[in-house]
Chain A
Amino acid sequence: MAATDKTPILKVEGLQTSFFTHDGEVKAVDGVDFEVGANETLGIVGESGSGKSITSLSIMQLVESPGKIKGGSINLTGEDLLKKSKSQFAKYRGNRVSMIFQEPMTSLNPVFTVGHQVSEALRIHKKLGKKDARQEAIRMLKLVGIPAPEDRAKRYPHELSGGMRQRVMIAIALSCDPELLIADEPTTALDVTIQAQILELIKNLQESSGMAVLIITHDLGVIAETADKVAVMYAGEVVEQADVKTLFKRPLHPYTKGLMNAIPRHDVDMDELEVIKGTVPSSAEMPSGCRFMKRCPYASEICETHPSLATPTHNYGVEDDSGAVRCWIYTEEWDTATKKQEVQ
């Protein structure tokens, strides 16, 4: 695991990104903080619409209108990216920060061979000449595990399988030796046996390059397997953060707990799946207090006030302080408030 005393590669603080639609403001990301160090993998997990992709697109400054980054800071090795001009940032994107997406077909250009696309990336980022770039492209394709790379380099994206296309995307993303790789659901569209190959590939590449990885997924299994630490998102906020072992050993937030018991597992029998009642509220119906309130079995009066993400100090048992949780239960106020209720 990474040393925490060094400056993190990526540090996001108070990030707010909203969409200004006809129906009003949709706060897709609302005050998100996290950091990732060299050689470290942060997993962001959450259900559909919780703001995972918009978080990563914000870091890449690829949020499209009517979306807008409203506030916060995004620091890459200490420099605030949001203070950079568009052209200054363009130098970072694909140079120091790369991103891979769920569906590689949409990010590959259908009219060029994959070899050409990898060489182009190398020519731009590494300033290689045509011939060197072509050779290096084949080496990259081999590195990401594409069999017969000389032949595959001449193929068009549609001639490759989904897993191969994702490998090509990874080759392009890595062509600049990024310090940070953002992978947004990189294996969601793939079969499990291919997913296993791709996750292993990312892990191996990280081991040799030391890059920081931000992996976004809705799959807690993928998180458990790849991440060093985890941020759980719900309705645009991080509701819990911890190192991966702690999170799975003792999830604190009622939402995290619910998620863990709602997943049917292939390795153990579960009689009844726990159900998180209801659905994520729309932005118009979002409670002003704890956003999970309408679905939370423990909701109490105090939850009408919006809780902040903080180190748990009460009611959590295990002695460690590595995590943070956005829930009143783990605060002194909860004890006071619930005692008061008991007395009444």
Chain B
Amino acid sequence: MTTPLFETKNLKKYFPVKGGVLNRKMTDVKAVDDVSFAIHSGETLSIVGESGCGKSTTGRAILRLEEPTDGEIYFDGEDFRKLSKSQLRKRRKDIQIIFQDPYASLNPRQKVKQILDEAMAIQGVVPKKDRPARIRELMEVVGLRPQQAERYPHEFSGGQRQRIGIARALSVDPKLIVCDEAVSALDVSTQAQVLNLLKDLQRKFDLTFLFISHDLGVVRHISDRVVVMYLGKIVEIADKKSLFDSPHHPYTRALLSAIPVPDPERKTERIVLEGDVPSPMNPPSGCRFHTRCPFATEICKQEEPELRTAGDMVDGHQAACHHMEEIVEQYGKTPSVQE
């Protein structure tokens, strides 16, 4: 196997929780707790999971927008955590991030051309005299008219603003783009436009994406491989086909079965999970899913399951569950949808 473009090992990000009279540190929110994965050049790896499971924190920690508590990060073979602040700033151009709310991340007082110009100026990637041409090119690449660069962000629709966010990310020729819920706020018709655009751009410019989303439909459409997180941990990782056709972790199975299918003739056999996601401040012992898992046994409360590959899984497919073999044997590969 070739060296991945990006790799993180045992990544942890804890947030201290202060309290009491002295405002001392009481405990930690273990937002990301021992997460490892790699992303290969040209692929799209997605992270899915419910609110608060640590998707965004993972995205920010690997960019060092938030300094990780522990763990290793390698980008293009370089130890990313060893970089000084100024080295880091230079390297930032290689990894760009696109957020859910494009409006919040665009300066309302700047015209689009200024926004793009500034991004390129900061990174020093394009000489000043070439920038106007590059701006025109970027506008076209993301499906906007070059003249629209004269406008302000508020003069665009949500989908168009997201295109501006993408143009800004592309302006510095990044190698990896982290998309954090980049299409979540968009209407379906606009969402389809932006998703198709991202796929096109990936083909054209050989981009690598880390795609963070809670929408498994979107994830199935855009990803090559998928990571499923629950309470700060990876519970399953697989290529897209294996994850959707042969999910092994009970949480992945429940998540897939919970999504309403836009087809009234198709009955879903739902695994209804009881209760809420527990607090990451005080995660359950053993398997963190045991408080909601319909298959939990005594061992699940005591021993934390490791990510591993069961006999019937393809290479690279891993899940962290003590009982996955029995569950898959008993309930079949895809539990969620019945014709």
Q: Which residues of A approach B to under 8 Å, CB–CB?
A: 47-48, 147, 161-164, 191-197, 199-200, 218-226, 244-245, 248-249, 258-260, 262-267, 269-270, 272-276, 279
Q: A264-B218, A266-B220 are in contact. List 19 more A-B contacts (CB 8 A).
A: A48-B158, A162-B51, A164-B276, A192-B216, A193-B273, A221-B260, A225-B264, A248-B263, A248-B265, A262-B191, A265-B261, A266-B217, A266-B219, A266-B244, A272-B196, A273-B192, A273-B195, A275-B192, A279-B190
Measured CA separation A162–B50 after assembly (Å): 12
Measured CA separation A47–B222 after assembly (Å): 22
> What is the CB-to-nearest-CB distance from B308 to chain A, in angstroms, rounded to a whole number?
24
Q: Out of A194, A224, A272, name the residue touching B276 (CB < 8 Å).
A: A194
Tell me if B259 counts as interface (CB < 8 A to partner A): yes
A-B residue pairs in contact (CB < 8 Å), sample of 21: A161-B276, A196-B258, A196-B260, A197-B272, A219-B260, A220-B188, A221-B261, A224-B264, A248-B265, A260-B262, A263-B192, A264-B215, A265-B262, A266-B256, A267-B261, A270-B221, A273-B221, A275-B193, A276-B189, A279-B159, A279-B189
Tell me if B277 counts as interface (CB < 8 A to partner A): yes
- Knowing A222-B260, A262-B188, A266-B259, the reply to whether A192 touches B50 (Cβ < 8 A) is yes
Tell me if B179 counts as interface (CB < 8 A to partner A): no
Q: Is the CB of A192 within 8 A of B255?
A: yes
> What is the CB-to-nearest-CB distance from B243 to chain A, in angstroms, rounded to a whole number?
10
Residues of A with C-beta under 8 A to B219: 266
- Knowing A264-B218, A269-B220, A275-B189, the reply to whether A195 touches B276 (Cβ < 8 A) is no
Q: Is the CB of B277 within 8 A of A191?
A: yes
Measured CA separation A163–B264 after assembly (Å): 25
Measured CA separation A194–B215 after assembly (Å): 14
- Knowing A192-B50, A245-B265, the reply to whether A262 touches B258 (Cβ < 8 A) is no
> What is the CB-to-nearest-CB distance from A168 to chain B, in angstroms, rounded to a whole number?
14
Residues of A with C-beta under 8 A to B256: 266
Residues of B with C-beta under 8 A to A264: 192, 195, 215, 217-218, 220-222
Q: Is the CB of A245 within 8 A of B221?
A: no
Measured CA separation A272–B266 after assembly (Å): 22
Q: Is the CB of A259 within 8 A of B189?
A: yes
Q: Out of A47, A191, A200, A269, name the residue touching B187 (CB < 8 Å).
A: A47
Measured CA separation A218–B215 after assembly (Å): 14
Q: Out of B157, B190, B195, B262, name the residue touching A221 (CB < 8 Å).
A: B262
> Chain B residue with minimal CB distance to A162?
B51
Query: Chain B 187-224, CB within 8 Å of chain A: the 1/0 string?
Result: 11111110110000000000000000011111111100
- Knowing A195-B258, A267-B336, A272-B196, the reply to whether A258 touches B275 (Cβ < 8 A) is no
Residues of A with C-beta under 8 A to B88: none
Q: Out of A163, A200, A220, name the residue touching B262 (CB < 8 Å).
A: A220
Tell me if B337 counts as interface (CB < 8 A to partner A): yes
Measured CA separation A186–B242 after assembly (Å): 32
> Chain A residue with minimal CB distance to B260?
A221
- For the complex, count residues of B whose C-beta is within 8 A of A: 46
Measured CA separation A196–B256 after assembly (Å): 11
- Knowing A147-B275, A273-B196, A276-B189, the reply to whether A263 touches B217 (Cβ < 8 A) is yes
Measured CA separation A143–B255 after assembly (Å): 25
Q: Which residues of B approach A to under 8 Å, CB–CB?
A: 50-51, 157-160, 187-193, 195-196, 214-222, 244, 254-256, 258-266, 268, 270, 272-273, 275-277, 336-337
Measured CA separation A269–B241 after assembly (Å): 9
Q: Is the CB of B258 within 8 A of A218?
A: no
Measured CA separation A48–B270 after assembly (Å): 29
> Chain A residue with minimal CB distance to B276?
A161
Q: Is the CB of B196 within 8 A of A275?
A: yes
Q: Is the CB of B196 within 8 A of A263?
A: no
Q: Is the CB of A225 within 8 A of B196?
A: no
Measured CA separation A249–B262 after assembly (Å): 11
Q: Out of B189, B215, B254, B255, name the residue touching A262 (CB < 8 Å).
A: B189
Closest 5 CB pairs of A and B: A221-B260, A264-B221, A276-B189, A273-B192, A262-B192
Measured CA separation A21–B50 after assembly (Å): 39
Residues of B with C-beta under 8 A to A226: 260
> Chain A residue with minimal CB distance to B199?
A272
Pick the most buried of A163, A199, A223, A265: most chain B CB atoms within 10 A of its CB.
A265
Q: Is the CB of B276 within 8 A of A163?
A: yes
Measured CA separation A288–B196 after assembly (Å): 31
> What is the CB-to-nearest-CB distance from B239 to chain A, in angstroms, rounded to a whole number?
13
Q: Is the CB of B260 within 8 A of A224?
A: yes
Residues of A with C-beta under 8 A to B337: 267
Q: Is the CB of B51 within 8 A of A47?
A: no
Pick the most buried of A222, A244, A276: most chain B CB atoms within 10 A of its CB.
A276
Q: Is the CB of A47 within 8 A of B188?
A: yes
Residues of A with C-beta under 8 A to B259: 192, 221, 266-267
Residues of A with C-beta under 8 A to B157: 279
Measured CA separation A214–B119 after assembly (Å): 47
> What is the CB-to-nearest-CB distance from B302 to chain A, in angstroms, rounded to a whole number?
24
> What is the CB-to-nearest-CB distance from A189 to chain B, in angstroms, rounded to a whole number?
9
Measured CA separation A116–B135 after assembly (Å): 58
Q: Out of B50, B190, B264, name the residue touching A193 (CB < 8 Å).
A: B50
Q: Is the CB of A265 within 8 A of B270?
A: no
Measured CA separation A226–B261 after assembly (Å): 11
Measured CA separation A263–B218 after assembly (Å): 8
Measured CA separation A163–B259 after assembly (Å): 16
Residues of B with C-beta under 8 A to A279: 157, 159-160, 189-190
Q: Is the CB of A191 within 8 A of B51?
A: yes
Residues of A with C-beta under 8 A to B261: 221, 224-225, 265, 267
> What is the CB-to-nearest-CB distance from B244 to chain A, in angstroms, rounded to a whole number?
7
